[in-house]
Structure 1
Amino acid sequence: MPSTPASPAPAARAGGLISRTGLAYYPVALVARLPFAMMVIGVLTLVVTARESVELGGLTSAMVGLGVACVGPLIGAAADRFGQRPTLLIAGAANSVLLGLLAWLAFGDAPIWLVFAAAFLSGATVPQISPMSRSRLVTIIQGELPLARRSRTMSTALAYESAADEVIFVFGPVIVGVLATAWGAWAPVAGAAVLTVLFVTAFALHRTSAPAKSSEERAATLAPAAELGRPALLVTVLGILSVGLFFGSMLTALTAFMQDRGAAEQAGIVYGVMGVGSAIFAIGVAILPPRFTLRARWPVFALLIVSGAVLLQTADDLPRMLLSLALMGIGIGPLLVTLYSFGAHRSPEGRSATVMSMLGSALMVGQSAAAAITGAVAEQAGTRAALLLPLGAALLALLSGIANVALTPAAERLALRTGPIPLD
């Protein structure tokens, strides 16, 4: 029998979201997602140093992304079925061991296919902290807050989550660089393993973790898996994938741009111009008027990224590069908030962790694949050719937003006008 809380009825409880999660939840959830952001760049640095091959490094990091793509949504599905706590504890333990194994294999005499296998399994066992955190907050807001406060709180919570992801994806590469410079190429991967043990475990054991449901509860509240294949949800996944492609291609092309100027190690700092602006504007989404609907926001924010990516093609010096990054940052953060809001709105009943894991996996797959492809393009065709790839990713985000307009039915359009996330 599942445990039932002894607290008063949710609707009667006073306080807001923080009173239900506790303040400590947010720093724990923030640091727990850091290994996820460190992994692609950390594995790339590890293999390039150990095997002295940029090509092998790119392929190995792509194997991490492939592992996330194949198994990440299944981890989300396991959390929906068995509860987040056991799922995260098992995944976190396995991931820490596999990261250590990967570092050992990379610096040893193991054949490269074994390194690829370890990288794939490392990606396959990545604890899905961002999706799980979003799922927890969405569940608390929908189930415990008064109806009148849900819409605004939902928008604020998802804006915070996207801003947290932005901060992590900006500082993750910086931390990798600092650790690799200070202690060697093995240090970022080892650091990710240690952070996983400490903070993923703390996140898994936090009181907000939803308990496992009985088979009767699952039968009553779990929508059929076929509903995950609805076109409106799949186009949302495509939108998130395009953002991942943008992140991976932009960071790699920027690294090549800075390398041409003899300052490759400063790429992370320059990249932060986009990340900081993106985080600020992501938080600002919470104050946008409801009449500026999600359906309209997607193509508008994507168009801002396209505009910045077009300006990027003229960047022959650092000031022009900084200007284009700042313009793209205005759109990328709010677009992420919009896409995750669509994901929350379109999640089939009982499958919110699965949907959020699908979105998180698509983000990392896009990032790792684009990093590998952009690196090869920069090496073979030069930096100018590599800078075209972020523009391609931005155009894909815009086209998927236009497709979403057609895929949003009239009833959903009306619901989306009542607030960022309709909950009634």
Structure 2
Amino acid sequence: MASTVQNASPVQDESATAGSTPAGNSSGKRPGYGQLLRTPGAWTFVLPGFLARQPFAMLTIGIVLLVQHTTGSFGTAGAVSAATGISMALFAPQSGKLADRFGQRAVLLPGVAVHTASVAALITLALLHAPLWALLAVAVPTGASTPQVGPMVRARWAARLSDSPLMSTAAAFESVTDEFTFVVGPVLATALCTSVHPAAGLVAEAVLTLAGGLLFASQHRSQPTAHRTKQTGEKRVSALSVPGVRVLIAVFLGIGSVFGGMQVSLTAFTESIGQPGINGVLYGIFAAGNMTAGIVCGAIAWKTGPRRRLLVAYGLLALATTPLWALTAVPLLGATGLVVGLCIAPALITGYTLVESLVPASARTEAFTWLTGAVALGQAAAATTAGQLADRFGPSAGFLVPLAGTALAFLVLASLRGRLIPPGKGRVAARGVGHRTPVTVD
């Protein structure tokens, strides 16, 4: 009888799992940010992590402002900034892999030291009017050593909230925190560079990296367990070997194309109409949409599973970018930018949420850094492409880059969404007494 009861278990699918509520929450509401931040030990890494990630958004704009001031060339400034971004994207996963294996503290301490020294060297060379090759040479270690604090914070949440309904709330909280960083960081760097000294933005970036990185590294009790050696019966895997992670990398490259394409195209558009001052307003509206959607996503008790949510959110994102290239009125462009921003956060949050179920704990920091690196790489490639299109075909042509990037990524996601099913999960339907048949579901 016991065996019969076990084999006749009810159907389990993604929707049912997604709609479940935590114990003690009879109202069916999604656990909110207040409950998330009451997680024991959360504040010990949330606050230092917030401080330590601010420099991430200050680096590229600080480089552009300093190098353009010393060389008089936006092309040179863009090349040095792009070299930093590409280096960051390529080396970030290796940093995550080392953090998974040896612990976050072991990676952060030498990382912040190298980064601070590299930024100091870059500032010195720029002020001495060094040639482009010298600036590019030091830009590589500057980007490669950028501390990946955001992925490390996400890995700490995943370690504490494994299989908890709060994990999606944590992903939403981190998305909002990232967006806030990318709103505050560039403004702070720009203000320092224009009102204090052209190098002040990078000086502040280096100081915050050193202070914030050391403070975050000191919170060693909350860091995930290092998987230095294999556990009994456990096979060490790279996050990149997980098929679902490769699909998510393509998805996040498309999201990066939106960030890079919007930044350059909005700048080109506002300059072409003789109103460069409203560029910050338009991009602020876009970022505000992203932040707002992130806050809302963290408060919703989703009844559909993350795979389906990602497909729907990404389809809406690709659709929202479609009319950008044809808009010539500032109010319409601002409204459309707001809609694009509203569509980004659900895709980002859901993608990060899926990592927790797709990737073993021994490779999660690496997985998060692959996704963060994909956004940075997509952003750098999109900024370059959008700039070239704007120069050759007019300012609105750059808006084709977000459309193309999200459309291609959506096709990849739609065709390979089956790879986003967590290992050993899916639908298990009872087919009579004594046996069950697995059935794949969305």
TM-score range (shorter-chain normalised) is 0.7 to 0.9
Distance 2:410 2:224 in 1: 39
| SS at 2:371 equivalent | helix
Distance 2:201 2:416 in 1: 39
> What is aligned with 2:194?
181
Give the residue type in structure 2 aligned to 1:34. Answer: Q
User: Residue 264 of structure 1: CA displacement?
Assistant: 2.5
| SS at 1:361 equivalent | helix
User: Residue 55 of structure 1: CA displacement?
Assistant: 1.7
Distance 1:318 1:307 in 2: 20
1:300 aligns with 2:312: yes
The percent of aligned pairs where both chains have the same amino acid is: 30
Structure 1 window deviating more from structure 2 (34-43 vs 226-235): it is 226-235
1:344 aligns with 2:356: yes
Distance 1:262 1:221 in 2: 65
> What is aligned with 2:103?
83
Contact 1:59 1:372 in 2 (8 A): no
Give the residue type in structure 2 aligned to 1:134. Answer: R
> What is aligned with 1:32?
52
Structure 1 window deviating more from structure 2 (21-30 vs 34-43): it is 21-30
User: Residue 223 of structure 1: CA displacement?
Assistant: 4.2
1:355 aligns with 2:367: yes
Structure 1 window deviating more from structure 2 (238-247 vs 17-26): it is 17-26
Contact 1:304 1:327 in 2 (8 A): no
User: Residue 227 of structure 1: CA displacement?
Assistant: 5.6
1:169 aligns with 2:182: yes
More helix by share: 1
1:166–1:223 CA distance, 2 compared to 1 (3 A)? farther
Distance 1:105 1:87 in 2: 27
Distance 2:129 2:76 in 1: 15
Structure exhibiting the larger radius of gyration computed from Cα positions: 2
User: Residue 286 of structure 1: CA displacement?
Assistant: 3.1
1:155 aligns with 2:168: yes
1:43–1:265 CA distance, 2 compared to 1 (3 A)? farther
Distance 1:266 1:220 in 2: 59
Distance 1:173 1:256 in 2: 18
1:279–1:16 CA distance, 2 compared to 1 (3 A)? closer
Give the residue type in structure 1 aligned to 2:253. Answer: L
User: Residue 84 of structure 1: CA displacement?
Assistant: 0.8
Structure 2 unaligned residues grouped into runs of 5+: 1-22, 24-34, 429-442
User: Residue 124 of structure 1: CA displacement?
Assistant: 0.3
Give the residue type in structure 1 aligned to 2:395. Answer: T
Alignment of 1:306-345 (within 5 A): 306-345=318-357
> What is aligned with 1:47?
67
User: Residue 408 of structure 1: CA displacement?
Assistant: 3.6
Give the residue type in structure 1 aligned to 2:205. Answer: A
Contact 1:228 1:348 in 2 (8 A): no
1:205-229 alpha-carbon deviations (Å, 9 max, x no partner): 124442764754x444874335622
Alignment of 1:19-418 (within 5 A): 19-23=39-43, 25-142=45-162, 150-151=164-165, 153-210=166-223, 213=226, 215-216=228-229, 218-220=230-232, 223-226=235-238, 228-409=240-421, 412-414=425-427
Distance 1:358 1:170 in 2: 23
Give the residue type in structure 2 aligned to 1:255. Answer: T
Aligned residues: 394
Distance 1:248 1:110 in 2: 27
1:266-302 alpha-carbon deviations (Å, 9 max, x no partner): 3223211121121121122234444322111122112
Distance 1:201 1:41 in 2: 23
1:69–1:214 CA distance, 2 compared to 1 (3 A)? closer
Distance 2:227 2:50 in 1: 30
| SS at 2:40 equivalent | helix
1:54-93 alpha-carbon deviations (Å, 9 max, x no partner): 2222221111122112211111111111111121111111
| SS at 1:387 equivalent | helix
User: Residue 100 of structure 1: CA displacement?
Assistant: 1.3
Contact 1:223 1:351 in 2 (8 A): no
Give the residue type in structure 1 aligned to 2:378. Answer: G
User: Residue 404 of structure 1: CA displacement?
Assistant: 3.7
Structure 1 window deviating more from structure 2 (290-299 vs 259-268): it is 259-268
Contact 2:311 2:413 in 1 (8 A): yes
Contact 2:254 2:409 in 1 (8 A): yes
Contact 1:40 1:368 in 2 (8 A): no
Contact 1:309 1:390 in 2 (8 A): yes
Give the residue type in structure 2 aligned to 1:254. Answer: L
Structure 1 unaligned residues grouped into runs of 5+: 1-10, 416-424
1:215–1:82 CA distance, 2 compared to 1 (3 A)? closer
Structure 1 window deviating more from structure 2 (394-403 vs 57-66): it is 394-403
Distance 2:123 2:112 in 1: 17
1:180–1:230 CA distance, 2 compared to 1 (3 A)? same
User: Residue 257 of structure 1: CA displacement?
Assistant: 1.2
Distance 2:281 2:36 in 1: 36
